[in-house]
Amino acid sequence: MPDWSYHPLFKPWLFSLNAHHSREFIYKSMRTISNIPGGSSLIEFLGHFSTPNDLHQNTNGVSYKSPIGVSGMLDPNLTGLEVFGSLGHSFIEIGPVTLREEEGNVPQLNDKDRLWFHKQYEMPHLTYVEKKLRKIALHKPVMLHIDPKATQSQVVQIVESLKPYVSSFIVKQEQLEWIESCNQDTPIYVSIESTEKDTIMNFNHPYVSGVVINPPINWDGEENYFKEDQKVSNDFMCKRITSVKDIDQDLTIITRGGIREPHDALHLKNAGADLMILESGYVFTGPGLPKRINELMTQMPEEDEGTGWKWGLLFGAIILIAGIIALIFSMTRVILPYDEQFIGLTREEIIAINPRILAFMAHDRMTLAGTMISGGIIYIQLARYGLRYRIHWATKAFHTAAILGFLGIFLFIGYGYFDWLHGLYYLFLLPFYLMCFWKTRGHLHTVSSSNKKNSSSWKKSLIGQLLFVILGTSIVVGGIVISTIGTTGVFVSTDLVYLCTTPEMLQSINDRLIPVIAHDRAGFGTALISVGLLVLMTTLWGFREGEKWIWNTLAIGAPPAFIAGLGTHFVIGYTSFIHLLPAYFLVVLYIIGLVYAKPFLNDGAN
């Protein structure tokens, strides 16, 4: 559930539900997806949550891919254990784990900005946690938070039972002496409540690895409280970090909460925080917050121009030029001499039989040409701004779309016709792509981001991103449908109405007409799949504040396909509303998506 689906679609509905129900719905849904074959890959595809290598750190003997983790308060039932690692979290907190049999109360969303917790909040029981951890093989560090009210015997039992599954413990100051006898090597962090004085105690204890600083707590005068996630909390915690550092520079500092925007995490990191646990701010800002924080903290090399990008540039330019040439032919002769030779009819003879046959073939070939031009533009942009700087997501998008485009050659012969010019085009194009692939295959740079705030332009961009995701997905689906039709029935009902004929009549006139038409349809479908993937992957992985080239790519890349696709229908008189409705729908998505995305991609925060 990336931010582009969370905010426009799910958040309003989820916030109207009971906190328990909405929380469990999210975690169970994502867990179900991650457990199906290819599910984890789908989650990664939609969000591209991979953590930048330069954020990896080793803290007290534990390896963390980034300093960002998630609070156990947000998942007391441990439903999302298998999911959090796929959303950019480097570590997971569990608990507070208890041996008490008291049933806790779920948090309440009392207004748009605060998540209220009850004094007697939800805590998972030891037996339940142990059963879960035995069953699930977690590949992320786990911090176990022990019930602050646990007695000495309970602390010992919790530690001895769960020590094999966790990387560190979080305890209260009073529980330190009890944990010595049962733990000698697992890092221990002491939780400091905000109600304590600003003067931090000197934790000169042999088993203390660091402290967990909690945000300020505000009570409603009864049994409920909320943890500040606004600026006051962030400033408070930065001061507490300084206080701890003044006493002991070597203590590891972990913060809980106090983060609602990426720049909040940057403030804490700059103040001296080693690890940061997201809490209620994560609920309001959305599941993309860890990724945004990681990218804000990532530093891209100033000058690191990769090799091979010029081959990618040539690859895109060849497709662009080929598309222009194909467009010229589709607007003039339509069919070439080798087409006439295969069919056994000249252009004039086909017109004499049924003038709409040639017009119909022109409409397929013109839309293919427009799609090729659009694809060529996007390939060029990805090479100039992505491959050139070794950006992993751009390289992955480039090669995924290109390889699928090459595989489409097998569809061309699905109905019995493969023209030699297509074969030559592919053979000419292949060396350029192979050189590009070979020289860019090691591009692994993740992208840094300047996005610091949950600005109005960022929120609008999520709508634009959602619309472009729908656009790219629709193009891919349309390409699959057209390719399938091209290798099976060839025509849809509106095609036959326009042609004023039936497949049987065409077959009786000339048994090679339909294979040529099918070949055009399959080729057009393949081109749509490739270009649709380019649009989709660029949208999913490239939307970042101030990335003007992403907006420019989408703005100039789509019109050739739309103009050629719609224009040819009106030129030949094939104007069936039902037939053109998908194209109209895509144009509307495109225009609105550009409008909503422009402030964020072009101008940044406002």
Residue boundaries of the structural domains of the chain: 3-297, 309-443+455-603
**Interatomic CA distance for residues 134 and 279, integer angstroms:** 26
Q: What tokens does 290 get?
A: 């860890």
User: What pTM was computed for the model?
Assistant: 0.89
pLDDT for 231 equals: 64
> 3-297, what's its fold?
TIM Barrel (3.20.20)
- Can you list the residues of the chain whose pLDDT is less than 50? 196-199, 605-606
Angle CA(169)–CA(215)–CA(103) in degrees, nearest 5?
60
Contact 213, 200 (CB under 8 A): no
Q: Which amino acid is at 206?
A: P
**Interatomic CA distance for residues 89 and 561, integer angstroms:** 39
pLDDT for 228 equals: 65
| Nearest by Cα to 65 from 92, 32, 89 | 89
**Interatomic CA distance for residues 32 and 39, integer angstroms:** 8
pLDDT for 375 equals: 94
Whole-number Cα distances in Å, 174 to 53, 160, 199, 263, 477: 38, 18, 17, 34, 60
**Interatomic CA distance for residues 70 and 143, integer angstroms:** 10
Residue partners of 141: CB distance under 8 A and separation at least 6: 62, 63, 64, 90, 91, 92, 167, 168
* Per-residue pLDDT tens digits for 269-318: 999 999 999 988 888 888 889 989 988 888 766 556 667 899 999 999 99
Contact 364, 521 (CB under 8 A): yes
Angle CA(417)–CA(568)–CA(525) in degrees, nearest 5?
40
Q: Are strands 142-146 and 62-64 parallel, antiparallel or unpaired?
A: unpaired
Where does residue 320 rank: exposed (0-12), middle (13-18), buried (19+ CB within 10 A)? buried
pLDDT for 86 equals: 77
pLDDT for 137 equals: 77
pLDDT for 39 equals: 75
